[in-house]
Structure formats: C-alpha cells, structure tokens
Structure 1
Amino acid sequence: MSDPLARLLEEAELEARRLDEALAQARAARADQGDDEHDPEGATAADDWSRFTALRQANERWLAEIARARTRRDAGAYGVCLVCGQPIAPERLAVRPTADRCRDCAERRA
C-alpha cells in the first residue's frame, strides 16, 4: 500500500520548487521593468510577485500540515481525533490524509 502522506509531501515539495522558480522569474521581471504600473498589457510584475508570494505561503502552510500528520503517524496517533480521541473515519482520511479531527469535531470547530 502506498503512503499517501509521502505522496502529498512529494507533490507539495515539487510545487514549492515551481513557486520558487516563479518567484525568481517575477523578481527578475520586476528588476527589468522600470514602470510596470502603467503596462497596458495586463498584470504588473508586482501583481505577479504578490500572487506567487501568497501561493508560496499557502504551500508552506500545507507542508507544515503534512509534517504534523507525519509526526502523528510516527507517534502512533495518526487517524485519532485530537479533540475527542475517537478514530477518524477512513473515508475522511482518504479524502484528507492530514485530517487531525473527526468530522463531528471539525464541524464544531468551523
């Protein structure tokens, strides 16, 4: 059986590398353009920078969530709700392998 957390980590790390490259390109574009605020062609380099920065920050949060799930797994607590201590349904873990709450506790939190 494959490890869904390892697969998620691999995908998230690949996305981090892609976003880092996009940020590097946006940084270069910002350095090359003097006045991108008046570019009639569309989005400015600053817009690209802001978008990629936000995506990279979201990716960092996702990587941290995966790391926490792997820590729970290594400690033998994976699949156990942090709130009520009951097992998290396998169907929930199949959809969201990083889930740390059962459906009931997650709904109460929202």
Structure 2
Amino acid sequence: MTEHHRDAALSPSEQATIRDLLDADRRRTTARAALLGRDRDEIVTSSALTASDDEHDPEGTSTAFERAHVQALLDQALTHLTELDLASERLRDGTYGTCARCGQRIPFERLKVLPAVKTCVICASRRR
C-alpha cells in the first residue's frame, strides 16, 4: 500500500461505493438535463409559433414563467453535473471526503447521501 493510499480519507471499498454513487447520480442528472432541455426547446418552439404579447396576454406571462422555471431547473442540473465531475476528480486525486473549508474528514454517511458534497456538516451550517 502506498503512502498516499494509506492517508486517503476513504477505504478502497468506500471509494468503490462512492464511485458507484457518483456514476448513478451522473446518469440520473444527465437524463434529467436532457429532458429539461427538450422541455425548454418545446416551450420556445411553441411560443414562437404564436404571436403573443407577454405584457397583455394572460397566457404570455405563464409561458414566460414556465420557460424561466424550466431554464432554472436545467441550470441547476448542469451545475450539479459540474459538481459531480469535481467530486470524481477529488476521488481520483485522494482529496475526496475531506472538507474543503476545515480539512476534517466528512463522515462517510454524509458522503453516501450527498456524494458531490465538499464540506462537513459543521462548515455547511456556518455558511447560512
């Protein structure tokens, strides 16, 4: 066992579990982003086919809200994909499971629930 591996915050079996969780989360989030992208495109296409005046048409504001809502959800999914990529990088370089703020180990149970998390509970609660 190498020095780097011995100092890792997670055991090999825990690393495998996290890798599987990150992969599953990535698949779900990628599918969600694709669906939201299609929904957004349908809303844009549908609103382009009708001549609506958002300011005076009661349906116009609903369409604008729906488009903004779907775009916000899509943005969240894309941000989460980036967070998953960064978590995978941390797992590869041996820094995964260490709080980005205080440097303490993040409990494995927290990592299983939120595999892309970067902070321990204490540091996450201070942020608010």
Q: Name the TM-score class by shorter chain.
A: 0.7 to 0.9
Q: Which amino acid aligns with 2:52?
A: D
Aligned partner (choices 72, 86, 92) of residue 90 of structure 2: 72
1:109 is the counterpart of 2:127:
yes
1:93 is the counterpart of 2:94:
no
Q: Matched residues in 2 for 1:66 and 1:50: separation? A: 24
Match of 2:50? 33
1:109 Cα deviation after fit: 2.3
Instruction: In structure 1, list runs of 5 or more residues that go unmatched.
Output: none
User: Identity of counterpart residues, as a percentage?
Assistant: 29
Root-mean-square deviation (CA, aligned residues, Å) is: 1.9
TM-score, reference length from structure 1 = 0.87
Instruction: In structure 2, list runs of 5 or more residues that go unmatched.
Output: 1-15
1:45 Cα deviation after fit: 2.4
Bigger radius of gyration among the two: 2
Give the number of aligned pairs: 109
Q: Which moved more, 1:45-54 or 1:15-24?
A: 45-54
1:47 Cα deviation after fit: 2.1
Q: Matched residues in 1 for 2:39 and 2:97: separation? A: 35
Q: Which amino acid aligns with 2:36?
A: L
TM-score, reference length from structure 2 = 0.76
Q: Which amino acid aligns with 1:55?
A: L
Match of 1:54? 72
Match of 2:11? none
Kept in 2, the 8 Å contact 1:36–1:45? The answer is: no
